[in-house]
Amino acid sequence: MEFTLNSSHKMPVAIFGTFDIKSHQVKQAVHDAIRTGYTHIDCAAIYQNEAEIGEALAEAFDTGLTTRDKLYITTKAWCSKFRNIREACLNSLKRLRVSYVDQYLLHWPFALQPEDNEPPKYSPGKANFDRYPLHLAWAQMEALVDEGLVKSIGVSNWTVALLNDLMGYARIKPVTNQFEINPYNSKKELVDFCLQHEVIPVAYRVIYRPAAAPLYPFQKCILDDPIILELSQKYGKTPAQILLQWCLSRNCAFVVKTITPSRMLENYESQNFKIDSEDLARINDMPFEGEYNDAYQQFGIHIFK
């Protein structure tokens, strides 16, 4: 299943995520994902595993497992690299061993103090902000499209207000906005705004499991929600498949991460059925429970509040 982007390129909606996959697990995980059917790989410089993904891709190309033109690769510029996004992109391309990426994102809607580390280091903190305007960062992103280093550009973790502002100065529109979406945090207003402006919402953390306290005190697991369990039984699908199909029903793509082949297939096959409108409405009506990826907890700045 694919969505057509406002750049006219087609993007596979089932996206294999690479966040927190350990270096020694990357090659097998990427190859298993490709064998399962995933043709869209989601990466980021800050994940610290682009080089290992590049090795996995090179081997996949060399052995005939897949070809570059059959894969859609997304990666992201980290916030400490916003003053020189071209250099950040070139470093990602070098690590990934490709001449271009299909999509390049600004990872968060703020800049952090510049650093020389490659790949960049995760350095949260209230004192680490860089007063660098987002419109200048976006102009650099547009230049990457002009140069042919990336085919499409997008954003991650942007709000309605930030997107609305971006639409006012963008020469090239963002094709996607990647942000946290699940029935406990459905972000209806943001999803609707994205779709109205031809920006595809890309959901991460759809399959919500409790995080480690005390940084993330929200401990409710969506896989155990009574409504999700009831619909799982009704449709003969797993709770994860119910959640991912709910996401697709809202015209959102999704990022899922697992190193277990059976779960890769389970997640991928969520594309192969539909949920009745009445049952979708029940999921849509589930109350807000909390924001897992809370920017304030990490960086001391409120974004989705």
CATH of the domain at 75: 3.20.20.100
pLDDT tens digits, one per residue of 121-152 = 887 777 688 999 999 999 999 999 999 999 99
The closest alpha carbon to 175, from 155, 147, 146, 205, belongs to 155
Give residue 86's pLDDT band: very low, low, confident or very high (50, 70, 90): very high
Residue 208, pLDDT above cutoff 80: no
Distances (CA, A) of 220 to 46, 157, 164, 213, 294: 27, 22, 32, 12, 16
47 is a catalytic site residue? yes
Q: Which residue did the predictor score with more confidence, 39 or 122?
A: 39
Q: Confirm whether 304 is domain-assigned.
A: no
Q: What is the pLDDT of residue 142?
A: 99
Q: Dump pLDDT digits (tens) for 269-284.
A: 999 999 999 999 999 9
pLDDT averaged over the chain? Answer: 94
Q: How many CB atoms lie within 10 A of CB 85?
A: 21
**What pLDDT is recorded for position 190?**
98
Average pLDDT over residues 241-267: 98
Is pLDDT above 60 for 217?
A: no
Closest to 185 in 3D by CA, of 113, 107, 293, 106: 293
pLDDT for res 299? 76
At residue 107 the predicted structure's pLDDT band, cuts being 50, 70 and 90, is very high
4 located within any domain: no
Q: Residue 292 has what pLDDT? A: 75
Please count the CA atoms within 13 angstroms of the CA of 237 that sit on its side-chain side: 23
In a domain, 1, yes or no: no
Which of the 8 DSSP states describes residue 8? S
The answer as to whether 254 is a domain residue is yes
Position 211 scores a pLDDT of 60
Q: Which structure tokens are listed for 81?
A: 């690299």
What gap in Å lies between CA 65 and CA 57, rounded to an integer? 9
- Residue 228 domain-assigned (yes or no): yes
Phi, psi (rounded to 5 degrees) for 100: -155, 160
State the DSSP code for 39. Answer: -
**Domain ranges, residue 96:** 10-299
Number of domains comprising the chain: 1
- Band the pLDDT of 113: cuts 50, 70, 90: very high
Q: Is 111 domain-assigned?
A: yes
**Residue from 47, 104, 184, 268 carrying the catalytic annotation:** 47
β pairing state of 2-4 and 253-256: unpaired
Residue 5 lies in a domain: no
Q: Is 197 labelled as part of a ligand binding site?
A: no
Q: Does 2 map to a domain?
A: no
- Give Dmax over CA atoms of the chain in angstroms: 53
